[in-house]
Structures are given as structure tokens and as C-alpha cells.
Structure 1
């Protein structure tokens, strides 16, 4: 199959299929992304938070804040302030107190965020109440 034929394929699904066929005919194995890549996805971070915050009301409040702050993106960065991560820590390096893998590990960021919310506001629910009144926490 020529490259020009592959370029003319409009559907991404067809293009992936065509690339897989070309790779297979050339004897190249195609594999899925490594399992650790999935740990930074929003649903994976939410599942981790759910395990770390078993109380439904506290989880919901935490989730509301994280949804507004980062959209559950572990690598979310505020270009104007430099705030970083799920909970938009400022400065971002504060999260190192929860673990050296703070830049990429949702569990580390969640741990730091929970500690911050509990120490500053008393709980994620109280932090969410503050967030609703002020648009930040």
C-alpha cells in the first residue's frame, strides 16, 4: 500500500487500520501504550481520589474543586500564575512535600491537595464552600 493511498483515507479509524496493515506486511509489531500512561487520565485520577476519600460528600467537594481548577489534568498548568496539577498548587513545588513524583503522580497530588484543604479549611467540603464564594481556594 503506498503512502499516497494512506493519505487519502479520510477516517482516522481507517487510517489506523491501514497503518496496522502496512506495519504487519512489513513485519513490524504494533503494541498498545504502556500501562503507566493510563495513570494520568482523568478517570484514573478520579478513581484514585475515590479510594483516598471514601466519604461521599468530601469526595464530591474535592471533585468539584479539581474539576474547576484543572479538569482532572495532572499536568494542568496556569500560564499566568504557574499553578500546577490537579489542585493547582502555587508554587507547584509545594507538592514535593507529599512525594518526589508530584509532577506526574495523581495520588501524590491528591494527597497534597487533601492535606492542604484539611489544614487550611478543615475539610474538602469547607474548601468547596470557600471556592464557591470566592472562585478560588
Structure 2
């Protein structure tokens, strides 16, 4: 981490726009992003937390910037045609998981505030990986 969290010019927007241009015939398209809890869990991992703490003095400031980044990305996706965005999260165990979930809830609430009414934001919770043999 070298600076503040930002959602400007996120590559997911260009990827969505490219894929959208490949689709024809009224196919409904959706963008899937990792949920804020997953991003927070990665930021709070011990080897990343040191860099995070050099940039952010408090979780409050970091949560606000992360929410603003998610809001920016979702707004940009909407601008290029996305009408459904799915945020994928995994069940997080442990005490750190509860803390991450609480911060993630704050990020999510702030991130979706004032998005266009016809943008559907869905959360998908997974509980692990399934294998087929």
C-alpha cells in the first residue's frame, strides 16, 4: 500500500465495458466484485496491516475511503451499463472475522448510499469451496 484507497479508474470498469461490448441479443449482464469484508480482511492481514497503518491513522478514515472507492467503482460500472452488481463474501470465522464483518457492514452501508435506484446491488455469501469429482 503506497497511498490512500481510491476507486478511480478501477480495472473492473474497463473489463465490464469490454465484455458488455461482446454481448448481443439483450443478455442481462452482471458485474461481480469481492465484498468489502474480503478487501478489509486482506488489508488487515498482519503483513499488510503495517503498510495500512502507515497510510491510515484510524479505521474510521480507512473505512470512509474504502466505502468511497466502492461507491466510485459501482457508479462507474453503472455509467457504462451495469445494472446488477454482486458483492461476494465468505463467512469469516474468529474474533478478527467479527471485527472485519462490523467494519465491512459500515463500508457497505456507506458505499451503496445514493446509488441510482435502478442499480441492483446483491450480496452473495459463500461458505467454502465445493469440489466435484
TM-score (norm 1): 0.21
Could you say which structure has the greater relative contact order, defined with CA pairs below 8 angstroms and 6 or more residues apart? 2
TM-score (norm 2): 0.21
Higher share in helix: 1
Q: Which protein shows a greater Rg?
A: 1
